[in-house]
Amino acid sequence: MQNTSWMPPSVSDSPTIETFILEGMFQASAATGTFTSILNQIVLSSKLITGRVRRAGLADLLGHTGGTNVQGEVVQKLDVIANETLIRQLKRRGHCAGIASEELDHAVIFPEATGNYLVCFDPLDGSSNIDVNISIGTIFALMRFDRSKGPPTEQTFLQKGSDMVAAGYIIYGSSTVIVMTTGQGVHGFTYDPTAGEFFLSHENLRVPERGNTYSINEGNHARWSPQVKAWNQYIKGDGPGRPYGHRYVGTLVADAHRTLLRGGVFVYPEDKKNPDGKLRLLYEAAPMAMIFEAAGGAASTGTRRVLDVEPGELHQRVPLALGSKRDVEDYEAILRGETPVP
Ligand code: P6P
């Protein structure tokens, strides 16, 4: 008689992300129903977006609309779809009071909303990689504001990353994975299209103390400062634990996800073309910094903690070094002209 008590392990033995959120498994000190509702609206948006991403080649969603966004970047069709999807879902229940998006010049305030949360997002990071089927992603962050001081304005979004209450990203890669934190613990959830649900797949992610991979666009070498060139030389040189291997996808979410799981360091420094760096603080660097710090890693501009940077404007850019604590410390040491402690 077959032993029917044994069941093969299955991802569906894990909680769905909705269950994980609803059962308060994200330690969110001041979590309220609206906080939970907003996270679930982001999850719903990611299911809708992943459906379009997976069919992009078939449903004529590849290619661009012909327009450009506030960054001066060519807008890809999927960018527009992802942006509209997030706005529509976040506006729906009145819990989110407004959004700031990479795709929009200005913040969008929802006047009928009653909630005390704002959401910043890059709806489709790495969209230049869409047409060549390389991983892309969505990055988001939640912040709170005091409604007793009146409705939010664009200024209300200009908060330091250390004031964010949640951050996460969705990577549309070989599978679709959501990685999210409320500051304590980082957890990953993998999408099972047959169930239409995200299931817990990476509980309590921790960045290794040190890795053996560095990630930077070597094609920008001529534009770097002497200090960044010195770090680049160091990381490729011989010496204890070096040379590091090089990996670079060109989509922040993909390079960050690999670094989060395997360790090492991702760097997008300031250079002659991007004197403040290329990546945007509010909806790229700061959410990633919150995730990495919550997983025991680090995120620096090269001279200071990313989460301490006070935004001056919505689309402010910052230089970024993201990854294992020791690897980010080495980067900062070399930028100070010091020799890293092995
Ligand atoms: P580069 C994608 O366009 C993006 O904003 C990030 O996702 C990525 O890390 C970076 O730009 C890549 O920039 O100059 O290396 O192509």
Mean pLDDT of 129-147: 94
Residue 90 CA to residue 209 CA, distance in Å, equals 36
Q: To the nearest 10°, report the CA torsion of 45, 164, 151, 70.
A: -60
Q: Is the Cβ–Cβ distance between 284 and 168 less than 8 Å?
A: no
Question: Tens digit of pLDDT for each residue in 47-76?
Answer: 999 999 988 877 777 777 878 888 877 777
Q: Is the CB of 252 under 6 A from ligand 1?
A: yes
Where does the pLDDT of residue 143 fall: very low under 50, low under 70, confident under 90, or very high at 90 and above? very high
What residue's CA is closest to ligand 1, atom 13?
Answer: 250
- The CB of 162 under 6 Å from ligand 1? The reply is no
Q: Does the Cβ of 94 fall within 6 Å of ligand 1?
A: no
Q: Is the pLDDT of residue 32 over 80?
A: no
Q: Is 125 in the pocket of ligand 1 (CB under 6 A)?
A: yes
* Ligand 1 centroid to residue 249 C-alpha, Å: 9
Ligand 1: which of 125, 172, 218, 283 to mutate, most ligand atoms within 8 Å of CB? 125
Q: Look at 221 and 9; give whichever has higher pLDDT.
A: 221
**212 within ligand 1 shell (Cβ under 6 A):** no
- Each residue of 70-129: pLDDT tens digit? 887 777 789 999 999 999 999 998 999 999 999 999 999 999 999 999 999 999 999 889
Q: List strand residue ranges (DSSP E) for the chain, in order.
A: 64-68, 74-76, 96-101, 108-109, 117-125, 136-144, 164-172, 176-181, 186-192, 197-202, 213-215, 245-246, 265-268, 298-300, 320-323
Residues in CB range of 236: below 8 A, 6 or more apart: 214, 242, 243, 244, 246
Top mutation candidate among 253, 265, 278 for ligand 1, by most atoms within 8 Å of CB: 278
pLDDT at position 5 is 63
Distance 80 CA to ligand 1 centre (A): 18
pLDDT of residue 73: 75
pLDDT tens, residue by residue, 156-171 = 999 999 999 999 999 9
For residue range 259-275, list pLDDT tens digits in order.
999 999 999 999 999 99
Domains, the chain, with CATH or none:
11-202 (3.30.540.10), 213-335 (3.40.190.80)
pLDDT at 29: 56
Residue 102 Cβ contacting ligand 1 at under 6 Å: no
Task: Give the pLDDT band (50/70/90) at residue 247.
Answer: very high
Strand-strand pairing, 164-172 and 176-181: antiparallel
Which of 252, 266, 273, 320 most suits a substitution to test ligand 1, by most atoms within 8 Å of the C-beta?
Answer: 252
Distance of alpha carbon 65 from alpha carbon 48, whole angstroms: 20
Distance CA 44, CA 36 (A): 12
pLDDT, position 184: 81
Which backbone phi and psi does 78 adopt, to 5 degrees?
-65, -30
Rounded to the nearest integer, the mean pLDDT of the chain is 92
pLDDT at 6 over 90: no
274 pocket-lining for ligand 1 (C-beta < 6 Å): no
